[in-house]
Chains A and B, each alone.
Chain A
Amino acid sequence: MLNVIWLFLIVSAVIYGGARGQVNEVTAAAMASGRSAVDLVLGLTGVLCLWMGLMKIAEKSGLVHLIARALAPLTARLFPEIPRDHPVLGAIVLNVSANLLGLGNAATPFGLKAMAGLSELAEDKAVASKSMITFMALVTQSVTLVPASLIALRLASGAANPMDIVGPSVFASLCGTAATLMANSAMARRHARRRK
């Protein structure tokens, strides 16, 4: 699926851009993307390493384990196939809470750490496991209580009350989360049947 989407975006851009006489701009955009990717990943690397360092301490001291166990009743329902006190559950909980607080920079390292843990538990490393997909559903539909950059943008644009979008956005977000979790369990069941 990713192969087809990626190929479509590139090939159609060259054909359509070329037909409109914009072929130079399309080429320039491709080259510029190299720079943006470096900017993003390099910009992320420092903070990523910082949180991974802290995370390692939290892991070795048993803190992650503690958090995992405290929220086990909840996570056990979402991830029945993961052992109840596995540290990967701690990383998942930390990722979700960081997203909730709008700490995107902290959320990504926790999330990648959780993915590494889920990968260790997976039978086939090249294929997304059931728990990985459930986790991705949680990450992509995460609820943000403090969308900091959005509030800043609204403030800069002269909104009377920059915070007034938070309530509706949390509500819409919760609807998305509920829908995604339902779709996830329905599709997981369908895939499990197909495998048998």
Chain B
Amino acid sequence: MAVINLLAQWLLPVILAGIPLYGYLKGVKVYETFIEGAEEGLAIALRIFPFVLAIFMAVGMFRTSGLFDLLARAISPFTTLFHIPADVIPVVLLRPLSGSATLGLVGEVMKTHGADAFVSRLAAVVQGSSDTTFFVLTLYFGSVGVRDPRYALPVGLIGDAVGFIAAILVCGWIFG
């Protein structure tokens, strides 16, 4: 643990100093180049903002309307059939859309059931093993102006579904 902590602590500073040092040794004008790159970052931030806004708006409205809970309740009969705890369903449904909201949900599950309950651990594993597929796709494609994502969404969602099934199986095996 101590070694990992030390490594984690030193990794970033070494990169922060190492890249400019390497550049300088290779004859790069490090200061001007840094500024040039940072400017590009600003342009990207401007370009991705509308996409982030569009997702936040739709997800925020959908959650507040109560439809999200309705959806989670509607599929709960199927999930209890497979011994999937009901409280983990909202986590799974929200995961592709919003990372911070999912983390909040996982926190709620832990508060209700205790951090070491099976549901809580399963919720944590679901959160840890998947990403905000929908959000990432809009963000990345938006940043380069791609309007037609073709088969990217189904590919990502298939991965999420398989990851979720694997999470249930491995949690049942280890924590069950």
Binding site for B on A (CB under 8 A): 1-2, 5-6, 9-10, 12-14, 16-17, 20, 22, 25-26, 28-30, 32-34, 36-38, 40-42, 44-45, 48-58, 60-63, 101, 103, 106, 108-109, 111-112, 115-116, 118-119, 125-128, 132-133, 136-137, 139-142, 144, 146-147, 149-150, 153-154, 157-160, 162, 164-173, 175-180, 183-184, 187-188, 191
Contact = CB atoms under 8 A, between A and B. Distances in A.
A187 B149 CA distance: 13
A117 to B, nearest CB: 9
Nearest to A50: B38
6 contacts: A49-B41, A56-B37, A133-B149, A166-B128, A168-B175, A191-B151
B140 A115 contact: yes
Given A5-B134, A57-B22, A187-B154, 10 more contacts: A9-B58, A22-B66, A37-B56, A42-B45, A48-B41, A109-B41, A133-B152, A140-B159, A165-B125, A179-B163
Contacts of B149: 1-2, 128, 133
A183 B34 CA distance: 39
Given A63-B19, A140-B156, A150-B124, A34 B65 contact: no
Majority SS of interface residues in chain A? helix
Contact of B163 (A45, A54, A175): A175
Given A128-B149, A160-B116, A173-B129, A30 B162 contact: no
Contacts of A53: 33-38, 41
A30 B61 contact: yes
Contact of B130 (A26, A51, A173): A173
A158 to B, nearest CB: 5
Given A32-B60, A101-B11, A172-B170, A13 B34 contact: no
B125 A154 contact: no
A178 B171 CA distance: 19
A54 B18 CA distance: 10
Interface stretch (B72-80, B81-89, B103-111): B103-111
